[in-house]
Structure 1
Amino acid sequence: MSPQTTRRWAWIHKWSSLVCTVFMLLLCVTGLPLIYHHEIGHLLGDDVEAPVLPVNTPKANLDKVIAAASALHPGKIMMYM
């Protein structure tokens, strides 16, 4: 290969990799909130966290939970049997 051909390929390689770098940077910057959404929500205080309950706390009855949700939001909760 001649020096001129090497310079051309170096120029093509440099500019094509700079263009690809912009797209990769965009993917990284927009993807980080998706990966760390739990930590970001905790930091901002937007996450709803379950309280720590004593060990011997009884479990909620599912029928009562559904009835309470149906009372709060009538017509939005559908049961599939």
Structure 2
Amino acid sequence: SVDPFDYFVQAGAFRAQSDADAQRAKLAMMGWEARVSEREQNGRTVFRVRVGPFGKRDDAEQLKEKLDGAGVESALVRVQR
């Protein structure tokens, strides 16, 4: 069966773009390319730092475990294709 979702590993959501950029740079130094995306939440702008998309949930979960192990708090995010 085909998974109807793409998976991302979100390594933070920040109010300041500079904080999100710093997190993205930290991930880049660890070898992962992350993107910062802007989103409005409850009337405030939030800058999300995400790695992905991954076509397989397992791949995203493996990265999440690596980030958790490196002390980076992260969450698995699933987005319908």
TM-score class, shorter: under 0.3
Length-normalised TM-score, structure 2: 0.24
TM-score (norm 1): 0.24
Structure with bigger strand share is 2
Higher helix share: 1
Q: Return the structure number with greater relative CO, CA threshold 8 A, min gap 6.
A: 2
- Give the number of the structure whose alpha-carbon radius of gyration is greater: 1
